[in-house]
Chains A and B, each alone.
Chain A
Amino acid sequence: MWDGHHHPFSIARRAVGNGPMAPSPSSSRGEPSRKATRLDLFEYQGKQFFASYDIPVSKGEAVTTVDDAVAAAERIGQYPVVVKAQVQVGGRGKAGGIKLADNADEVREHATNILGMDIKGHVVKVLWIEVASDIAEEYYASFTLDRSAKKHLGMLSAEGGVEIEAVAAENPDAIAKIWIDPVDGLDEATAREWVKAAKLNPAAEDGAVDVLLKLYRAYTEGDADLTEINPLILKPTGEVHALDAKVTLDGNASFRHEWSEFEATQVRDEREQAAHEKGLQYVGLDGSVGIIANGAGLAMSTLDVVNQVGGSPANFLDIGGGANADVMAGALEVINNDPAVRSIFINIFGGITRGEEVANGIVEALRRVDIDAPIVIRLDGTNAEEGRAILEPHLSDKLQMQPTMLDAARTAVQLAASAS
C-alpha cells in the first residue's frame, strides 16, 4: 500500500514550511525580450490567491512589525506558529528566515531577528505568521504551460518537500505528468487517475483531487503562468493542505483582475524601478556600456555584439518600435543615472518609424537631458541617410555616429575602456 519511502502518518512537526529549501539557481533561460509582465507573488500573496479559490491553506497573517507579529500570533490563538520571512528567493529556511514559535515571547524574538534580515540580497520587510501544521506526508503539485506541447502541464509527485528539480533529474518516474487541452480543461475523473498514477497515499486521494481541481481553476481563471504547491501536505487527520504557495501571474491579463496590490510589491532594483515608471523595458546588468535599442530582438542583438567586441553592457533597454523625443529622453535619463555607465550605444533600426523622426527625437532628447558619458549612434533602415544628415551638425567627441552595428559597438566599447 505504501511506496516504501514514507511511513504512514509518521508525524513530523516541522518549522520548515517549504521543506528543505534548495537555493534557487538563477535561470539560464531568461527572456528579457518579453515585456516585464510576470507578477511573482510572495508566499503570503500566493496563499491569499489560493484561498480565494478555496484551496486549503494555513490560517495566518502578513505583518511588517514585531508588535504586529505578536498580535497576529495572539489573534491566530493557537501555538505553535511559524514565523516566515517573505522573500522571493530560495534558501530562506537555511538562512534562519523560518522559525517555529511556541509562545508570544518566541514570536517576538524570532520576528525581531528575521525582520530586516538580508537573505541573499533580499531584505525581509514582511513576515507571514501562520499556525504550524502536523505533517504526515509531503507532495508536490503544479500547473504551468508547456510551450512545446501547447498544452497545460500538470505535475504531481509523492516526493514533495524536496527540490523537485532534483527529483526530476534523478527519478523522473516519481513525477506524474498530464497534458491538459485548454479547451477541455481538467475533469474529476482525469484528476483521480492522475493522483493514482502519482501513487499518493490512498488516504490523500479525495483531498488531492479536490485541491488539484481547485488549483487548475486558480491557474486558468486566475491567469497564472505558474501555480505550484511544494509541499502539498497530507495531515495526520487526513486533510490535504497547501503548506507553501508559489504563484506567477501573467501581467498581460491584468485588465480582467484586480492585481494592483501584487503589482505594487514587485521587486525591482532602483534602475529598473525608474525605467518601469517611464514605461521602458529595462534590465540592469553589470557592465559599462549603456544600451538603448528599438525592439527587444535588436536590443538583445546589441548586447551580443557589444560582448563580441570585448565590452560589457550596463543594461538591456528596449524603447519599442518608435523612437520619439519623449521616449528617447526618458531612456537617456535612466542610463545617465547609472554611475557605472562609461559610454552609451544607441542602436536604432527604422522600420515604419523613419530615420528623420528618430534623428529629431535624439536631437531633442539631447537638448533636454544633460548626458555625462559619450554617445555612439548607429542609425539604419528607413530614410537612414536623411536621419544621419539631421544628426551630422550635432556630432562631437561626445556624440559620434557609426555606419554599422559592429563599428558602433567597437567605438562604444573603446570609449568605455578609455573612460574607466
Chain B
Amino acid sequence: MSIFVDENTKVVYQGLTGSQGRYYGLLNRDYGTQVVAGTNPKKAGTDVDGIPIFASVGEAVEATGANASCIFIPAPGVKDAVIEAAEGGVEFIVCITEGVPAHDEAWFYNKLRRDFPNVRLLGPNCPGIISPGKCNIGITAGHIAKAPEAGKPAVGIVSRSGTLTYQALYELKLQDIGVTTCVGIGGDPVPGTSFIDCLEAFEADPDTRAVMMIGEIGGSAEEEAAEYIASNMSKPVVAYVAGQTAPPGKKMGHAGAIVSGGKGTAAAKMDALQSAGVKVGANPTEAGELMVEIVKGL
C-alpha cells in the first residue's frame, strides 16, 4: 500500500494551462498518474493534450470524479485556489507553488481545519508526493524512485527539503530499496501536512516497514516529530537534518527567539531524534547506509 495517493487517485491540475502546470502535468500523466482535468475559467471547454479544461475545480470534480488537486497557480492566486479546491470537493490538495505569503498560509491552514476537516493540504512550496509505480503528483522525477517489490520490505520517505527528497529517493534506489510513498512536505512556515501526519500514516500502512525522514534547521517540526516517534512509532526511523553547519540567518527580532526557545538548531533536532530512538546520519549517504542496515534486519 501507499499513503495519501495511489493508482485510484484522480487529479485535477489548477493551472494546467500555464507553462509549469502543463509541463509537470503531462510528465505526471506520462508516469501513470490519472490526470483527469485542468482548470482555467477563461479556457473552459478547451483541452491540454487531450486533458479537458473546466472553469472551476467543482465542475471538474463533477465531470471527472477527481478526488485530488495539484496547484501550479502563481503565488498571489494560491489562497483562492486552495479554498476553491476544498469547496470543489477534492480530499487532497498538493500545492507546488513557492513564495506564498505567510499570512495567506496561516489563514488557509486554519480555514481548512475549521470548515473542511477532511481535506488534506500538502505544501505550499513542496515538490509533491509520489507513490512509486502508482501515482506521482508534482515535480519529482519519477524514474529516480523505486517501486516496492513483492516479498521485499519497502520504506516511506518524508522530507522538508526538495532536492534532498530526490537525493533520498535516489540513495534508496541505488541500494535497491523500494519506496511505498515519498512525501515532500515543503519548508514553509505553515505547511499543510506535517512530519507527524506522515509518520502517523506510515505507521498505519502495513507495507511501509521503516521511514526515512529528512529535516532542516529552523522551526521545531523535527523536535515535535521526535516526541511523536518516541511515544507512537513502532517502525524504525532513519533521519538526516540538513544545516548542521549552516550560517546563522537574520534574527527575527526578540519575539522569534522567544518562540523558538532552544529549538531550531540542527544539533537540537538531531539530539531530540536520537533520544527518540531514531538513527541519525551525518549526511544523506550515511542516512541511506543506516537504512540499508535496518532493511537487512527486517
Query: Which residue numbers of A lie inside 8 Å of B, CB to CB?
Result: 24-35, 37-38, 40, 142-148, 150-153, 155, 163-165, 168, 175, 181-183, 220, 223, 225-226, 228, 230, 246, 248, 250, 252-253, 255-256, 283, 285, 293-298, 300-301, 303-308, 313, 316, 321, 349-352, 380-382, 404-406
Contacts and interface: CB of A to CB of B under 8 A. Distances in A.
A255 B75 contact: yes
B175 to A, nearest CB: 14
Place the interface of chain B in its size category.
35 or more
Contact of A252 (B75, B109, B216, B245): B75
9 closest Cβ contacts across the A-B interface? Answer: A297-B161, A295-B163, A30-B249, A29-B264, A297-B164, A253-B101, A31-B218, A298-B163, A30-B248
B118 interface: no
Contacts of A33: 161, 187, 216-218, 242-243, 246
B264 A349 contact: no
Contacts of B296: none
B160 interface: yes
Interface in B213-257: 214, 216-221, 224, 240, 242-257
Interface stretch (B57-65, B147-155, B198-206, B277-285): B277-285
Contact of B252 (A143, A165, A225, A253): A225
Nearest to A257: B101
A308 B283 contact: yes
A252 to B, nearest CB: 5
Nearest to A172: B258
A256 B249 CA distance: 25
Contact of B214 (A142, A146, A297, A405): A297
A301 B284 contact: yes
B246 A145 contact: no
Which interface residue of B75, B217, B240, B245 has the most chain A CB atoms within 10 A? B245
B252 A295 contact: no
26 contacts: A27-B256, A30-B247, A32-B246, A33-B246, A34-B187, A38-B252, A147-B221, A148-B259, A150-B110, A152-B106, A153-B255, A220-B103, A226-B256, A255-B75, A256-B101, A285-B247, A297-B160, A297-B161, A300-B217, A300-B246, A301-B164, A301-B240, A303-B243, A307-B245, A308-B283, A352-B27
A202 to B, nearest CB: 26
Nearest to B101: A253
Given A164-B254, A295-B163, 11 more contacts: A28-B248, A32-B249, A165-B254, A283-B247, A297-B160, A300-B216, A301-B240, A306-B245, A307-B244, A308-B283, A351-B163
Interface stretch (B5-13, B35-43, B87-95, B137-145): B137-145
Nearest to B167: A349
A183 B242 CA distance: 33
Interface of chain A: mostly helix, strand, loop or mixed: mixed
B114 A183 contact: yes
B298 interface: no
A352 B248 CA distance: 31
A152 B255 CA distance: 12
Contacts of B161: 33, 295-298, 300
Interface in B127-173: 139-141, 143-144, 159-167, 170
A223 to B, nearest CB: 6
B290 interface: no
Interface string B73-88: 0011000000000000
Contacts of A31: 216-218, 249
A108 B166 CA distance: 60
B218 A29 contact: yes
Contact of A298 (B75, B160, B164): B164
Contacts of A164: 254-255, 258
Contacts of B216: 31, 33, 297, 300
Given A297-B216, A352-B141, A38 B190 contact: no
A175 B257 CA distance: 14
Nearest to A27: B251
B125 to A, nearest CB: 9
Contact of A406 (B98, B163, B283): B283
A153 B106 contact: no
B262 to A, nearest CB: 9
B107 interface: yes
A304 B245 contact: yes
Contact of B224 (A148, A256, A349): A148
A28 B139 CA distance: 32
A182 B264 contact: no
B248 A26 contact: yes
